[in-house]
Amino acid sequence: MPELPEVEVIRRDLERDVGGKKIKKVEVPGMRSIRRHPNKKHFIGLLEGRRIKFLDRRGKFLLFHLDDGVILVTHLGMSGQLLRAKQSREKLAKHTHVILTFTQGGQLRFRDPRTFGEMFIIEKGGLAACRELAELGVDPLETPVSWDDFGRMMLVRKTKLKALLMDQKFLAGLGNIYSDEILFAAGLAHDRKSDSLSTQEVRRLYRSLVETIQDAVKYRGSTLEDNGYVDPNGDPGEFQHHHAVYNREGEPCPRCRKPIIRRKLGNRSSFCCEACQV
């Protein structure tokens, strides 16, 4: 499940790999992944002939900045992948929904079996009017806030910690995996109210947030058994080997050795150590 660290790894890889390349041809087999556009022609016409200048990330959104102020926005949803093909004749993986072919040769392919992800284009000057980007909260990697600002932000909302960490309008980029890992690292329970934390707990949560995200990027993201996330080269990440709680039900807590607990929270699996997280 691509969250901030995975999208950041993809951004860095692609910045190096497709930055400066010119889009010669765009193929879109189905409408599902470009559902915001009225038709394929509209989407394709905005991309063909334009050059990729640089890549930017906002939370889980990846932004390809093109010539003429045009921006190609990608959200990978649950199962989206951006895959590089050095040669156009490489076999197409099933569920490939968008194919960009470069004048310099090679392709960038958007593959997404569960189709929760999407691609859409913002035309020149339209960035501020894009609501889901405008409403995103602070990106913990792009815009570091001080821990006391972070504490003030938490006081404004009086909500459960896990839901708050995953709220893209509060912090941009965290999902189910990293919110569980951050809460474990901070020793805080998922249902603690955001305005109930002591100064020390706020500081611990803030430090856990920053360190977990940085570590996850360092280890190139988390790839679970379903291989949902791979980098543009098709290679998995390594951070799953460093998870303390996520997907480790029954295994001993790395801190106290009591078994990791799994529970359902709002139709999602949530992992924690009930002894260490209070």
Partner DNA sequence: CGCGTCGCCTGTGGGC
Partner DNA sequence: TGCCCACAGGCGACGC
- Of residues 23 and 165, the one with the C-beta less far from DNA: 165
Q: Is position 56 an interface residue for DNA (rule: CB under 7 A)?
A: no
Nearest distance from C-beta of residue 151 to DNA, angstroms: 16
Chosen residue from 11, 57, 58, 60 binding DNA by CB under 7 A:
60
Q: Looking only at residues 174 through 193 of this chain, which bind DNA when binding is defined by CB under 7 A? A: 175-177, 193
Q: Is position 266 an interface residue for DNA (rule: CB under 7 A)?
A: yes
**Parallel/antiparallel/unpaired status of strands 261-265 and 118-122:** unpaired
Q: Which stretch binds DNA (CB under 7 A): 48-56, 142-150, 153-161, 204-212?
A: 153-161
Catalytic pick among 11, 21, 58, 60: 60
Chosen residue from 11, 21, 50, 95 binding DNA by CB under 7 A:
95
Q: Residue 251 catalytic?
A: no
Round to whole Å and give the CA distance between 237 and 161: 27
Q: Is position 159 an interface residue for DNA (rule: CB under 7 A)?
A: yes
Q: Is position 91 an interface residue for DNA (rule: CB under 7 A)?
A: no
Round to whole Å and give the CA distance between 137 and 56: 16
Q: Which residue has the tokens 């310099």?
A: 104
8 A C-beta contact, residue 121 and residue 71: yes
Round to whole Å and give the CA distance between 18 and 14: 5
Round to whole Å and give the CA distance between 275 and 25: 56
Query: Cα-atom radius of gyration of the chain, to the nearest Å?
Result: 20
Output the CA–CA distances (angstroms, integers) from residue 11 to 4, 19, 103, 245, in the order listed: 10, 10, 21, 27
Q: What are the start-end ranges of the E strands in 117-238?
A: 118-122
Nearest distance from C-beta of residue 163 to DNA, angstroms: 5
Q: Where do contacts with DNA occur on this chain (CB under 7 A)?
A: 1, 3, 32, 59-60, 75, 77-78, 94-95, 113-116, 132, 157-160, 163, 166, 168, 175-177, 193, 225-226, 264-269
Residues known to be catalytic = 2-3, 60, 268
